[in-house]
């Protein structure tokens, strides 16, 4: 079956689990051809309210690949970010298997829009917000967010149904300037004090770590960082305005 394994895996994955399953299946098929005795324990994208961290991680592998290829340069710092991310979230053994899989995914050209639409159909809004936040973390792994990577993340966010305000809020967490605090709260610098307080309550609710508890404890810890950015932005504005 040499030469056909990757196409068979890909076709089965696409039919059973949509584009994400197809991409993962093709990568697994390539690995099985290149590694004698290789056995896969891949489980498909479960979808719906039952989405778990593993589903999130599988989808994120593909989006990581899209962002890393945006500037036509695969950086060691970005690969280390991916490796560290999976070790922290899922453990070293899982990370080793997924990095091998990720290296195969990087070789593929895949329909980004179809992938994102599958994610949108199977993941809730808080999980998709978390995904965009992580992608910005990848982009900044080398200390500099490349404009082409931002463009791809913006495209992904649009496909995922993330509003412009939410996208700019998350982006501002990685680009610090005089207006970043206001962008994080999704308001203008000329907002009234009451509007600032109202915006904080809204954003604190939107980005609360409990919103992603179904993805697991480790993802909640990451969500806490995002939540902290919202609180820090509010505290900065309060200090500037002498608000109580």
pLDDT in tens, 24-70: 888 877 776 666 444 444 444 444 444 454 577 788 889 999 999 99
Contact 145, 75 (CB under 8 A): no
What does the pLDDT read at residue 51? Answer: 44
Contact 132, 170 (CB under 8 A): yes
Determine the CATH number of domain 52-162. Answer: 1.10.3680
Q: Is 215 strand, coil or helix?
A: helix
In the chain, where does the domain assigned CATH 1.10.3680 lie? 52-162
> By C-alpha distance, which of 86, 96, 87 is closest to 56?
86
In the chain, where does the domain assigned CATH 1.10.287 lie? 164-244
What does the pLDDT read at residue 45? Answer: 46
pLDDT range class, residue 230, cuts 50, 70, 90? very high
What does the pLDDT read at residue 68? Answer: 92
CATH class of 164-244: mainly alpha
> By C-alpha distance, which of 74, 71, 95 is closest to 85?
95
> By C-alpha distance, which of 64, 236, 244, 215 is closest to 127?
215
Reported as a single tens digit per residue, the pLDDT across 131-141 is: 999 999 999 88
CA distance 173 to 46: 31
Q: What is the pTM of this model?
A: 0.75
């Amino acid at each position: 079956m040499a030469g056909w394994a990757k196409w068979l895996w890909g076709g089965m994955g696409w039919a059973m689990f949509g584009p994400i399953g197809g991409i993962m299946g093709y990568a697994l098929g390539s690995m099985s051809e290149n590694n004698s005795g290789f056995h896969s324990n891949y489980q498909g994208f479960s979808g719906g309210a039952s989405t778990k961290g593993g589903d999130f991680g599988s989808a994120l592998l593909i989006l990581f690949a899209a962002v890393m290829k945006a500037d036509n340069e695969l950086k060691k710092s970005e690969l280390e970010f991916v490796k560290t991310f999976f070790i922290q979230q899922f453990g070293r053994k899982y990370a080793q298997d997924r990095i091998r899989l990720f290296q195969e995914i990087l070789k593929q050209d895949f329909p980004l829009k179809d992938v994102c639409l599958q994610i949108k159909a199977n993941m809730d809004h808080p999980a998709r917000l978390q995904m965009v936040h992580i992608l910005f973390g990848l982009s900044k792994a080398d200390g500099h967010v490349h404009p082409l990577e931002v463009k791809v993340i913006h495209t992904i966010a649009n496909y995922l149904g993330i509003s412009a305000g939410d996208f700019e809020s998350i982006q501002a967490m990685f680009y610090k300037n005089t207006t970043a605090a206001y962008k994080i709260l999704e308001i203008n610098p000329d907002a009234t004090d009451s509007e600032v307080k109202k915006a904080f309550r809204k954003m604190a609710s939107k980005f609360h770590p409990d919103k992603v508890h179904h993805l697991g404890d480790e993802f909640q810890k990451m969500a806490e960082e995002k939540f902290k950015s919202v609180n820090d932005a509010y505290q900065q504005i309060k200090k500037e305005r002498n608000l109580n």
